[in-house]
Every structure is written in structure tokens, then in C-alpha cells.
């Protein structure tokens, strides 16, 4: 095993425990992956994100063959689809975090723009989030639906299920998942009130100043 893979495993253990301890994942909900030069690391299926063991994290190769560690998450297709369509993605985080999942259950969430530009950081870290129709957890069609987006979105909401967020590396993907969750919480808190969103000009300025995702 390379030093790079060893470091990636250790970082997954640390950041997944941090997410779990702060309540972003409960039970065995959620899964996380990291891209390697020769494949991907994925959290094993049916584990608590707070209890990962570095050597048991699953590795699959470029062809999707399981080569090391425990059996990978049942959402393996979802993770592969992000890497296949977003060359800039180095990590993917899927959670059932409360507020983003709440938005995924509301019939009046706009499926083409689930998280309106409420604050600069959600624009900078998450971008425009689309909703994918409900299928059961682990259904390979989730991968097909993500591939159909052609890599245009860094994050999606799975209807009645939860968020999936990619980032250039694991730290970025985790930070973006946290930002999405907090913004979803604000949106639910502000529901029914007169919200002032960032103007299109303000959103453009953020993209020019900080780059697109
Ligand atoms: O969130 C989950 C399914 O959507 C958890 O599944 P896994 O335990 O297989 O990762
Ligand atoms: Zn899930």
C-alpha cells in the first residue's frame, strides 16, 4: 500500500468520525469515498461513520473490482458516477443529515435549484443543487442519473433520502456537505418569511472571484 493510500485511509477515519460525532450521520447512514491514482477508497457497507477502521476501508480498482478491505458501500455506483463525470472530484460525501434530508422530502423544493443563493459560502462551496427522483438506496439507477448530469453539479439531493456532495479533496467535500446542511437548516427556518437572496450579479461576482466548482 502506498503512503498516499495510507494517509487517505487515516484522513477518512478522522473526518468521518468528526461528521458522526457532530451528528451529521447517525446509525449506519451515509458513505464517503476518496479517489486514488489507481482506484477509489469507499467506506464499507453497514458501518457507522464514527467507527471506521483504516485497514477495513474498501478499495476498488479503476474497473470497479473490489481489491482490499471490507465490502464497499451499496452506493458504489453513485460514487463511481461522480468520479466518471467530474474529473475535478477527489472525494464524495453522502449523508442523511437532517435539514438537507428535510428539503429532499418537501414537495415545494425546486428540483432544478434546491438551495437558492442565500449566502456566499453555499454558492462558493456547493453551487446549484438538483434533486434526483427517489429510487431505493443502492439502486444502480442513482449512478445513471448522476452520469446524465454530465458533471455539471458538484452536489445533488436524492429525493426522500439525503445529500451527495463532491469536492476536490476529502476536506473540501466534507466542508461543502457541512455548508449544504447548514444552509438547508436556514432555508427551513426562514420558510414562509420574506427571504432576501443574493442577486444574480452577486452570484456572478463570487464565481469570478472564487472560481466555479
Ligand atoms: O446511506 C446509505 C445508503 O444510501 C448507507 O449504505 P451503506 O451502509 O451501504 O453505505
Ligand atoms: Zn443513504
Give residue 213's pLDDT band: very low, low, confident or very high (50, 70, 90). confident
31 CA closest ligand 1 atom index: 10
> How far, in Å, CA of 111 to CA of 128, rounded?
10
Ligand with an atom nearest the CA of residue 31: 1
Distance 99 CA to ligand 2 centre (A): 14
Give residue 212's pLDDT band: very low, low, confident or very high (50, 70, 90). confident
Protein residue whose Cα sits closest to atom 1 of ligand 1? 30
Per DSSP, the residues of 122-184 read: HHHHT---EEEPP--TT-THHHHHHHTTTT--SEEEETTTEEEEEESSHHHHHHHHHHHHHHH
The percentage of the chain sitting over the pLDDT mark of 70, rounded to a whole number, equals 100
Q: What is the pLDDT of residues 128-162, one digit of tens each?
A: 999 999 999 999 999 999 999 999 999 999 999 99
158 CA closest ligand 1 atom index: 4
Distance 167 CA to ligand 1 centre (A): 19
Distance 63 CA to ligand 1 centre (A): 21
Look at the alpha carbons of 133, 137, 142, 146 in this order and tell me if their dihedral is positive or negative.
Answer: positive
Ligand with an atom nearest the CA of residue 45: 1
Number of domains forming the structure of the chain: 1
Own/partner pairs, 195-198, CB within 8 angstroms, 24+ separation? 195/116, 195/118, 197/116, 197/117, 197/118, 198/117, 198/118, 198/119, 198/120, 198/123
Q: What is the pLDDT of residues 161-210, one digit of tens each?
A: 999 999 999 999 999 999 999 999 999 999 999 999 999 999 999 999 99
Protein residue whose Cα sits closest to atom 3 of ligand 1? 137
Distance 44 CA to ligand 1 centre (A): 9
137 CA closest ligand 1 atom index: 4
Give pTM, 2 decimals.
0.97
For residue 32, pLDDT over 90 is answered with yes
Residues labelled as active-site residues: 75, 121
Helices (runs of H) and strands (runs of E) counted in the chain: 7, 8
The CATH number linked to 179 is: 3.40.225.10
Distance 201 CA to ligand 1 centre (A): 39
Ligand with an atom nearest the CA of residue 164: 2
For residue 98, pLDDT over 90 is answered with yes
Residue indicated by cell numbers 469507499:
42
Note down the domain range covering 86.
3-210
- Chain-wide mean pLDDT for the chain? 97
Cell of 126: 456547493
Cβ < 6 Å from ligand 1: which residues?
28-31, 43, 45-46, 73-75, 94, 137
Amino acid at each position: 500500500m502506498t503512503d498516499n493510500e495510507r494517509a487517505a485511509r487515516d484522513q477518512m477515519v478522522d473526518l468521518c468520525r468528526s461528521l458522526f460525532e457532530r451528528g451529521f450521520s447517525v446509525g449506519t447512514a451515509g458513505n464517503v469515498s476518496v479517489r486514488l491514482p489507481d482506484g477509489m477508497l469507499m467506506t464499507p457497507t453497514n458501518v457507522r461513520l464514527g467507527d471506521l477502521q483504516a485497514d477495513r476501508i474498501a478499495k476498488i480498482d479503476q474497473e470497479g473490482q473490489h481489491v482490499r478491505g471490507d465490502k464497499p458501500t451499496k452506493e458504489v455506483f453513485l460514487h463511481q458516477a461522480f468520479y466518471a463525470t467530474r474529473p475535478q472530484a477527489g472525494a464524495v460525501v453522502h449523508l442523511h443529515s437532517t435539514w438537507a434530508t428535510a428539503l429532499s422530502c418537501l414537495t415545494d423544493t425546486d428540483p432544478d435549484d434546491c438551495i437558492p443563493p442565500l449566502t456566499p459560502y453555499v454558492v462558493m462551496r456547493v453551487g446549484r443543487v438538483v434533486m434526483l427522483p427517489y429510487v431505493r438506496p443502492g439502486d444502480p439507477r442513482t449512478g445513471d442519473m448522476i452520469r446524465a448530469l454530465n458533471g455539471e453539479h458538484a452536489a445533488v439531493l436524492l429525493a426522500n433520502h439525503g445529500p451527495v456532495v463532491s469536492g476536490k479533496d476529502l476536506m473540501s467535500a466534507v466542508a461543502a456537505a457541512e455548508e449544504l446542511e447548514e444552509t438547508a437548516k436556514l432555508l427551513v427556518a426562514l420558510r414562509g418569511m420574506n427571504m432576501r437572496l443574493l442577486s444574480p450579479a452577486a452570484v456572478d461576482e463570487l464565481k469570478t472571484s472564487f472560481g466555479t466548482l
